[in-house]
Amino acid sequence: MQTQPKLIDSFGRTVNYLRLSVTDRCDFRCVYCMSEEMTFMPRAQILTLEEIYQVAKAFVELGVTKLRVTGGEPLIRRNILELMNKLGNLQGLDELVMTTNGSHLDKMAQDLKKADVKRLNISLDTLNPERFKRLTRTGDLQQVLRGVAAAKAQGFERIKLNAVILKNRNHDEVVDLVRYAVEHGFDISFIEEMPLGQVSNHSRVEAYYPSYQILEDLAQHFSLLSTTDKTGGPSNYFRVDGGATRVGFISPHSENFCSQCNRVRLTAEGRLLLCLGNEHSVDLKKVLRSNPGNLELLKQTIVESMKIKPEKHEFNLQEKPVIFRHMSVTGG
């Protein structure tokens, strides 16, 4: 049997990780992710679940071993569990993971575990209910914490908390968030805000709180041991001495991670984004709908797309965003 070509870009980087956005819609309106009054894409523009599955299948046959399902909020997509079950059965896939805001996990964690989801990333920027409401605009912290507890009870291989840190919004909670992670045996990653889309209620320059500052804050309370652990994404991890919790840092500004990029993104409307911070993309929806069932053509298109994957992003907090799509459209 002939071996399928690996997905290798022009800079010699192998792509083995695909992030699948199944919807641009979300039940939260996080201040760093989208506008308060969002206009979402018409449903006819969104890929069907079968189309998403076909893209995932093509990527796995081309050597991708990790799939992450994202949104928007993926758990509000109708029939999402059917897709998760199909993805979990793909031959050659090592890891199926999901990023969620946690608001529906109290009802859906058990079914996600049955679908062979290995790990969950849960967004949790604060443990303060009033602050949580301000940051998410619509969210209920207690509902999310019930979801976190439900996920923990199911025994996923790993649960990781994701916290976007904004100066004078939640930067003073990094120690409490790590303590919460340690208490429950979770990992946690701190994320520098990414300048995607226009935001109206804060200045990204003023809100910027770099990873090295968070590390300094944490070092006053924890002994953090440097590790070489990787989970397929851009996080650089430290381990809390005496426990299993890993503390990661995703630092698109203070520590560019592009040289080791191994991932691409499928947007909910079917664009294959070759870089988070650039608009280099290929319209896979057009291929899917013009040539239904032609998996070989889809795979050929994906292989060819690697030629336009850029070397790096060029985020600049001092300038207006050159990327106008919000994170909810991009796929978190």
Which overall architecture, per CATH, does domain 17-330 show?
A: Alpha-Beta Barrel (3.20)
Helix (H) or strand (E) segment spanning residue 67 = strand 66-70
What pLDDT shows up at residue 251?
80
* Token pair for 148: 């976190």
Handedness of CA 18, 255, 161, 268 (dihedral sign): negative
- Render 194-208 in DSSP notation, one character per residue: P--S--SSS-HHHHB
Quote the CA–CA distance of 200 and 31 in Å, as a whole number. Answer: 8
What pLDDT shows up at residue 54?
98
- Spatial contact of 201 and 30, defined as CB atoms under 8 Å apart: no
Q: At what angle do helices 141-154 and 129-136 cross, to 10 degrees?
A: 100
* Token pair for 138: 């619509």
- Render 242-308 in DSSP notation, one character per residue: TSS-EEEEE-TTTS--GGG--EEEE-TTSEEES-TTS--EEEHHHHHHHSTT-HHHHHHHHHHHGGG
Q: On the CB side of 158, how many CA atoms lie within 13 Å of its CA?
A: 18
Quote the CA–CA distance of 147 and 160 in Å, as a whole number. Answer: 13
What pLDDT shows up at residue 2?
45
Quote the CA–CA distance of 97 and 162 in Å, as a whole number. Answer: 14
What pLDDT shows up at residue 311?
87
- Spatial contact of 272 and 266, defined as CB atoms under 8 Å apart: yes
- Spatial contact of 60 and 85, defined as CB atoms under 8 Å apart: no
What pLDDT shows up at residue 194?
72
- Spatial contact of 30 and 165, defined as CB atoms under 8 Å apart: no
First to last CA, the chain: 36
Which letter does DSSP use for residue 109 in this model? Answer: H
Q: Lay out the sheet containing 271-273: strands in order across.
A: 224-226, 236-240, 246-250, 187-192, 158-165, 119-123, 95-100, 66-70, 17-21, 263-266, 271-273, 281-283
- Spatial contact of 75 and 122, defined as CB atoms under 8 Å apart: no
**In sequence order, what are the residues at sequence separation of 6 or more whose Cβ sits closer than 8 angstroms to the Cβ of residue 142?**
129
Q: What is the pTM of this model?
A: 0.90
| Cα torsion through 158, 97, 8, 230, rounded to 10 | -10
**In sequence order, what are the residues at sequence separation of 6 or more whose Cβ sits closer than 8 angstroms to the Cβ of residue 51?**
270, 285, 288, 289
CB-count exposure of residue 10 (10 Å: 0-12, 13-18, 19+): exposed
What value does the CA radius of gyration of the chain take, rounded to a whole number of Å? 19
Per-residue pLDDT of the chain in tens (332 residues, 90 and over written 9) = 445 558 999 999 999 999 999 999 999 999 888 878 778 899 899 999 999 999 999 999 999 999 999 999 999 999 999 999 999 999 999 999 999 999 999 999 999 999 999 999 999 999 999 999 999 999 999 999 999 999 999 999 999 999 999 999 999 999 999 999 999 999 999 998 876 555 556 676 788 899 999 999 999 999 999 998 887 777 789 999 999 999 999 887 656 667 888 999 999 999 999 987 777 899 999 999 999 999 999 999 999 999 999 888 665 555 554 444 455 556 65
